[in-house]
Structure 1
Amino acid sequence: MIILDVLFYSFVVVVLIQVLYYGVLFGSFAFSKAEKPKGKNLPISVIICAKNEAENISQFLPSVINQNYPNFEIVLINDASSDETLDVFENFKAQHNNIKIVNVENNEAFWGNKKYALTLGIKAATFEHLLFTDADCKPLSTQWITKMAGYFSDQKTIVLGYGSYTPVKKSILNKLIRFETLLTAVQYFSYAKIGLPYMGVGRNLAYHKDEFFNANGFINHIKIRSGDDDLFINEVATAKNTALALDPKSFTTSIAKTSFKAWFRQKRRHVSTAKHYKFKHKFLLALFYISQVLFWLLGILLLSTLHLWPFVLGISIIRLIIQFLSLGYAAKKLKEVDLILMLPFLEIFLLILQFCIFINNLISKPNYWK
């Protein structure tokens, strides 16, 4: 009984931690009113780095070219592709005078490092305000540049956007990928909301050139092949210089991986960069994950023994209600409401997956950039 009592009180502490995360931290984002972009029509350089993306560029670049914005250029970076990416770039450039091509050849010192290619592209950009997306991304409206640029101000020199994945009917994998993307976005938007920005996603991210050059580019993590987006933002973002782009017209979408194996490899690369975050961010992120795991483990164990089960059940229901409300409102903002009905299943599956990724990354290093 003493052991069960200890487990029960531990469970109460875990639930309190979870309530603080979902109700207070994530609630600061979920229940707040989104700031509207002011729309200054600043000159914008859209930067797209591609490696062996000929097919995706052909399909998705027109949605960037056709943006309804008065003054923008598109900087296309060919990162030593072995397919027809450069040919596709040149075909588009021949038809549009606001396209600039940066052709990057293999460099022995920076072989396979996307940060080297991006650095050359940023230096080649004509304008001071940079907007980044990926070769397989599509803006959800012709107002994408307008809305993202509208969040810039004299103080706000970094804009964190949302990059979604296109829904696929009757696909559990697609829902799991989208749920992981939603939860990640809720976290980085929430931390930024309370003044602790820690990451952004390269599918939809903007910042001023000065932020890049004042930090000496990617030099502090150039040897880490991943992290051109999240590690850079982790280094330079502050409470004062970071804005959140939450207008639905500022969102982008991508085609999610269609095989679990491919997605698992992708997530291994993403997760491997987290160990390079600032300590305070690593601590808070780890505490959230551990408290999630302990909530389910301790809750199931206590309910299976029927030890103080009415209290365990009641506390669990309170936590679940707060979680549903917080993520539900956040999902409404990010246009992902269909995921909420499967919340407990998706959460448990994701926790197991994250544990497997952690173990795999301990055993071997993940692959980077294509």
Structure 2
Amino acid sequence: MATVLFALFLLLAAINIGYFLAFFSFSGSESSEAYATSFPVSVIVCAKNEALNLQNFLPSILEQDYPNFEVIVINDASSDNTLDIIEEFQQIDPRIKMVNVVNNEAFWANKKYALTLGIKKAQNDHLIFTDADCAPQSIHWLQHMASGFSDEKSIVLGYGGYFQYKKSFINKLIRFETLLTAIQYFSYTKLGNPYMGVGRNLAYTSKQFYKQKGFASHLHVRSGDDDLFVNEAATSKNISICDHAESITRSVPKTSIIDWFRQKRRHASVAKFYKTKDKLLLGAFYTTRLFFWTLLVILLSLKIYWQFVLGVLGLTLIIEGIVYFQSANKLDEKDLIWLFPILEPFLILSQLGIFIANTISKPSHWK
């Protein structure tokens, strides 16, 4: 029995090492660069009860060093004074265009409906999306994202991180999960298998949107306006990634474990609509990680081949550490580098909890 457990541990370690070796395709690559592009772009921001965030973060979009852009701000049936704030910005800056969405009984509280109206309002073919609680981390954000487009590339994936709160463990866990997710979707894209993007920092052309008939195939799924669209529309040839430090956006993170858990439940509920191969890849990653850590504890507690177990653990952590070190440096998450051996087990347990919770009941959706 001891030999069987150790052999299974070695198999799981090999699978996990294989995943992280694949992640070198992103972590070990050169960061994307901005080029001298000047074609007009439309920035699209969907806001539902986001008055304060618009006041705080919309100026950082208007301050972008890009020659030709408009900002479509969608008031998605807000019950606060979001509409008033948008109108105030319109009076100050003519680049602001507003879409005021009134709840439609057929599309009640559906962000995809609001986004579709915003896309139809846009005057330009190249669309760049972010959220109302997001702030570009550089005045060159638009330049970098626009540089991802070409005659062949109609989808651009960016990194949408979260603001850092130094003394908060939940903040570090949220940001670590976001970092790991980015490592995965950037790596798979580099390897020719794009499967998702995040709406906090995403771009595609209106031509690509209409080619896919918008969100029609998953309109019944209230979440997934970003990842399901990319999962359906992206190919190895029509997508690029934008991972330069100046192309990052950051948004306001949840401050409690319960709120974050609810948010991740919504995100995880969408994954079941991914392509089968993507579900298998993602499921196998988290499943093998869970059993790897479980067997590690069992083998060490029973002192079964413990010297070899520690050796395998050390090798695994070295390979993972290199990936996290390179990726965290690229995406400006440097304070997380040395915490990954602690944060990863917490994240794996959280994923297990999310899976169990979603099996028992359906999560809530877009506000």
Q: TM-score range by the shorter chain?
A: over 0.9
Of 8, 12, 18, the residue aligned with 2:16 is 18
Taking the aligned partners of 1:33 and 1:62, their CA distance within structure 2 comes to 30
Correspondence 1:1-370 to 2 at 5 A: 3-23=1-21, 25-370=22-367
Moved more, 235-244 or 35-44: 35-44
Shift of residue 289, structure 1, vs aligned partner: 0.4
For residue 155 of structure 1, give the secondary structure of its aligned residue in structure 2.
coil
- 2:117 and 2:169 map into 1 onto residues whose CA distance is 39
The total of aligned residue pairs comes to: 367
Contact 2:161–2:250 at 8 Å: present in 1 too?
yes
What residue ranges of structure 1 are gaps of 5+ in the alignment? Answer: none
Please state whether the residue corresponding to 1:45 is helix, strand or coil: strand
What SS does the corresponding residue of 2:71 show, helix, strand or coil? strand
* Unaligned 5+ runs, structure 2: none
Q: Distance in 2 between matches of 1:176 and 1:232?
A: 27
8 Å CA contact retained: 2:269, 2:363: yes
Say which SS state the counterpart of residue 273 (structure 1) adopts: helix
Q: Deviations over 1:292-323 (max 9, x none)?
A: 11111111111222222221111111011101
Question: What is the RMSD of the two structures over their aligned residues, measured on CA atoms?
Answer: 0.8
* Structure 1 contact 39–149 (Cα < 8 Å) conserved: no
Task: Please give the secondary structure, in 2, of the residue aligned with 1:201.
Answer: coil
TM-score by length of 1: 0.98
The alpha carbon displacement at 1:66 in A equals: 1.1
CA distance in 2 between counterparts of 1:66 and 1:342 reads: 35
* Aligned mates of 2:242, 2:297 — CA distance in 1: 39
| Aligned mates of 2:130, 2:114 — CA distance in 1 | 14
Q: Are 1:41 and 1:150, in contact at CA under 8 Å, matched by a contact in 2?
A: no
Residue range with higher mean Cα deviation, 221-230 or 326-335: 326-335
Q: Which range moved further: 274-283 or 260-269?
A: 260-269
2-structure distance, mates of 1:172, 1:302:
29
Q: Following the alignment from structure 1 to structure 2, what is the Cα–Cα distance between the partners of residues 154 and 39?
A: 15
1:352 Cα deviation from its structure 2 partner: 0.9
Alpha-carbon separation, structure 2, partners of 1:362 and 1:77 = 33
1:227 alignment partner AA:
G
d(CA) in 2 for partners of 1:362 and 1:315?
A: 34
Cα distance in 1 for residues equivalent to 2:33 and 2:92: 34
Contact kept, 8 Å, 1:148 with 1:206, in 2: the verdict is yes
Q: Calculate the TM-score normalised by the size of structure 2.
A: 0.99
SS in 2 for 1:207: strand
Contact persistence 1:39–1:151 (CA under 8 A)? no
CA positional deviation for 1:174: 0.5
Deviation at 1:36, TM superposition (A): 1.8
Identity of aligned residues (%): 55
Cα pair 1:63 1:139 within 8 Å, conserved: yes
* Distance (Å, rounded) in 2 between the aligned partners of 1:146 and 1:305: 56
Q: Is the 8 A contact 2:35 2:143 kept in 1?
A: no
Tell me, yes or no, if the aligned pair for 1:197 and 1:237 is still in contact at 8 Å. yes
Matches of 1:193 and 1:244 in 2, distance apart?
A: 8
- Paired with 1:268 and 1:41, the residues of 2 have a C-alpha distance of 40
Q: Separation in 1 of the partners of 2:116 and 2:334?
A: 37
Residues 20-67 of structure 1, C-alpha deviations (whole Å, 9 max, x = no match): 1112x1111111122323231221000000111111111110111111
CA distance in 2, matches of 1:57, 1:32: 35
